[in-house]
Amino acid sequence: MNDINNILSSKAQISQYTHDTAEMPGSSVSTSHQAFEQLVSRAVQLPGQVPVGIVWPCEQHALEGAMDAAQRNIIEPVLIGDKGTITSVAQASGIALDKAVFIDAATPAEAAQKATALVREGRVKALMKGSLHTDIFMHAIVEADSGLRTNRRISHVFVLAVPGYESLVFVTDAAINIFPDLDVKRDIVQNAIDLHNGLGLGAPRVAILSAVETVNSKIPGTVDAACLCKMAERGQIQGGVLDGPLAMDNAVSVEAAKIKNIVSPVAGRAQILVAPDLEAGNMLAKNMIFMSGADSAGIVLGASVPVLLTSRANSVQARLASIAIGALYAHHLAGGQG
């Protein structure tokens, strides 16, 4: 930020990004929602704008959130796509492009390839999916020779502010790994822990979910959960406190954990929920969003930079939250203190 007036102005706008839970029947603003707002506030105050590549922002929903974040001085938007189409969309939607840098690309595939090249050149520190298909976007990122792979498996995290719950909730993996084996689950857990710590939220309490809280050889997820906890004890997973298997009720309800006589620093107070497979994780996250009124942000981890994998169903506010989290984590990975 260049001056204190800009900071204060941006802070005043922050409340617009989130649903006002006070207006919902029987609900009140939870500390988790306040934590969401604090993350956006911290992103506003980062020292300098984080350059983010917006890949093929050729529809209003893909362009509006990015430019809103740019107006708040969170990011420097690098718009990668057909300049004529992007300009037409902006004019039709009343979106200002004065803060944008353009990288022209004729097709979505070309835009995705140029985006990964910009990352390798160090010109952008995060990527955000625009209006292209997810498979085209992710193909460029995971490509063996020209992509952004690291030695860590790529995974997705939903960051959720759930009304009535004390902490932000991370749900993983709900978007990328369909049937992860134990080694993949180790990376999924470590990716989520690293994000939690990188956002300045502290060492997380991690619940490895299953249908039951006891190890049962007929339910493979319970065996994986026990193995992951032992891996954490032996230093193969670091930075968080793990427990599992835990059923959903005793992972998030102190009362349910007491009824089951579960004594654990995680039970009833989990901050990261690790699903046994993609279907379970996706249904869990969307249940929280659409039935519990949770505000959501999403981020892909394990690549060389944070990747924001938004969908058409995301509101502009959800995109702003995702961008703020991506900017904060990109700043952290670059060695910043924000």
| Residue 98: DSSP 8-state | T
pLDDT at 88 over 50: yes
Mean pLDDT of the residues in the chain: 88
Question: What would the pLDDT profile of 286-329 be if each residue is shown by its tens digit?
Answer: 999 999 988 888 899 999 999 998 766 666 677 788 899 999 99
Question: What would the pLDDT profile of 114-158 be if each residue is shown by its tens digit?
Answer: 999 999 999 999 999 999 999 999 999 999 888 999 999 999 999
- Residue 8: its pLDDT value, please? 35
- Residue 265: its pLDDT value, please? 96
Integer Cα distance of 101 and 47 in angstroms? 19
Enter the tokens of residue 330.
């990109």
Q: Does the pTM exceed 0.75?
A: yes
The top-level CATH class assigned to 154-299 is alpha beta
Integer Cα distance of 271 and 171 in angstroms? 9
Integer Cα distance of 144 and 130 in angstroms? 23
Q: How confident is the model at residue 337 (pLDDT cuts 50, 70, 90)?
A: very low
Q: Mean pLDDT throughout 241-257?
A: 97
Lowest-pLDDT range, 14-18, 57-61, 110-114? 14-18
* Nearest alpha carbon to residue 81 among 73, 68, 72, 90: 90
- Residue 299: its pLDDT value, please? 95
- Residue 137: its pLDDT value, please? 95
pLDDT at 89 over 80: yes
- Where are the domains positioned within the chain? 48-149+303-337, 154-299
The strand pair at 155-161 and 295-301 is best described as: antiparallel
Instruction: Work out the widest C-alpha separation in the chain, in whole angstroms.
Output: 63
Q: Mean pLDDT throughout 80-105?
A: 95
- Residue 145: its pLDDT value, please? 86
Q: Which CATH number fits domain 48-149+303-337: 2.30.30.360, 3.60.20.10, 3.40.50.10950, 3.40.50.2300?
A: 3.40.50.10950
- Residue 31: its pLDDT value, please? 66
- Residue located via tokens 């993996």: 173
pLDDT at 193 over 70: yes
* SS3 call for 33: helix
- Residue 318: its pLDDT value, please? 73
Tell me if 58 sits within 8 A of 89, measured CB to CB. Answer: yes
